[in-house]
Every structure is written in C-alpha cells, then in structure tokens.
Amino acid sequence: MTLEAPLSPSAIQNLAAGLYASSASAKVRLTQSYRAHICPLHEVIQEVPPHARVLDVGCGHGLLLNLLARLGRIQQGHGFDVAAPAIGVANDVAKEHGLSATIAFEHRTIEQGIPGLGHEVVTVVDVLHHVPDEHKAQFFRSLCDVVPPGGRLIVKDMVVKPRWRAAANQMHDLVMARQWVAHVGPDQVEVWAAAEGMRVVRKDLFNTWWYGHWLLVMEKPPSQCAAP
C-alpha cells in the first residue's frame, strides 16, 4: 500500500487494528488501535519523506514504524525502546505481516544511548515528557547529534498549557505508565534546536479529546564543503 493522500485517524485505527490483531494482548490491541484518536499520528506520518530511512526513538510497541512500513512509505526503519516486552510485540507484528525486511526493533537501555545509524529521519513521539527535566536538554542534543546533515528531526509531545490539558496527560501517564511526567513546551525546544543549528520548518498545535499536543519538524542544514 502506498500513501498518496493524508490519512484520517479512523483509517490509521483500522490499519493498526489489522496489524496488532493476533500478535498482542487485548490491552495492547486496544491501545494501539485507538491511539490515532488520542495522538495525531497522521500529522507525524505526513512529515516523513517518502522512501526515507527512519530511526524511531522510544518506539514502544512499534506502531509508527509498522504503519509506515505497511503503507510502503519508508525504505528502512529501526526502532528502539527501553521496554523489552514492547519490543517483542513490535518485532512479532513486523514478522507476522512480512515487514521485517524493512523494519527492525531493538531493546536498548538508557545507558546505551541513541544509536547513530545514519537514518535521514529521526522521529520522537511522546518521549520527551518521560525524560526528567534535568536530562531533557542533553537528551535533545543527543537527538540532534544522530541527525545527519540534510536530515530531519520530528518531535511530537504534549502541551504545557492550558494547564488542564497538561494535567489530563499527566493523569493519563500516571494510570497507563505509572509515571508522573514533566512537560516541556515547543518554545523551549526551539531554543535548544537553534543552539544545535537545527532549522524549524514546521510548528503546530493539535487537540484530541482532552489532550493537547505540539509538533516540531526540524532540519539540519546540509554540510557546506569548501571548494578544493
């Protein structure tokens, strides 16, 4: 299947339901199927250039890469996460649907860091708010380090205001991830991006149900090679 027009959340839900129908628990099937109505994945997918190689940081159960591969949008993908059971599900889904030749998933500890594999696109969806405040800036610098010249960094995360939307997400993660998360706004991330020489090409806000999201798409300028 080749992606030609923007997908709707309902279309992504249907794709996700098919992908995770038999390779995951009932809870995982439910969360992956309905995530498109909570998280604007269709906006993230549209920012991935066709035929790109994608590194998905904190990939969880592998939904984004499995969708991208199922849609025929990417040339190759690699996802990693600190949660070994989630990675097991991600790999099972990819194998069941014949996507393993395109994508792979890896269990990776925080201490191992972010692998620099030369992917043109790095995606980071709902990860930054799980990073402790004192480590956020360094984590973002590490993301920028693995983006090659001319490459793209796509970050989707949760809003800091209005406060009631931020509180709704904190309650969500307290129940689902058993973690009290710390949000950071896109303005602060823009400051970090500028310090790393990244250029913001898109900045957007979205509301889904009671959740609020921000999206930043950043690019690293191509290397300027001096003439001989």
Q: Which amino acid makes up residue 226?
A: A
Give the strand pairing for 211-219 and 199-208.
antiparallel
Q: What is the pLDDT of residue 40?
A: 97
In the predicted model, is pLDDT for residue 227 greater than 50? no
Q: For residues 158 and 183, is the Cβ–Cβ distance under 8 A?
A: yes
Tokens read off for 145: 């380090």
Name the DSSP letter for residue 5. S
- The residue with greater pLDDT, 1 or 97, is 97
Q: For residues 105 and 87, is the Cβ–Cβ distance under 8 A?
A: yes
Q: What is the pLDDT of residue 224?
A: 53
Tokens read off for 100: 């393993």
Instruction: Name the pTM for this structure.
Output: 0.95
Considering the chain, what is the average pLDDT of its residues?
Answer: 94
Q: Which residues contact 89 (CB under 8 A, 6 or more apart)?
A: 20, 23, 24, 28, 61, 62
Average pLDDT over residues 202-213: 97
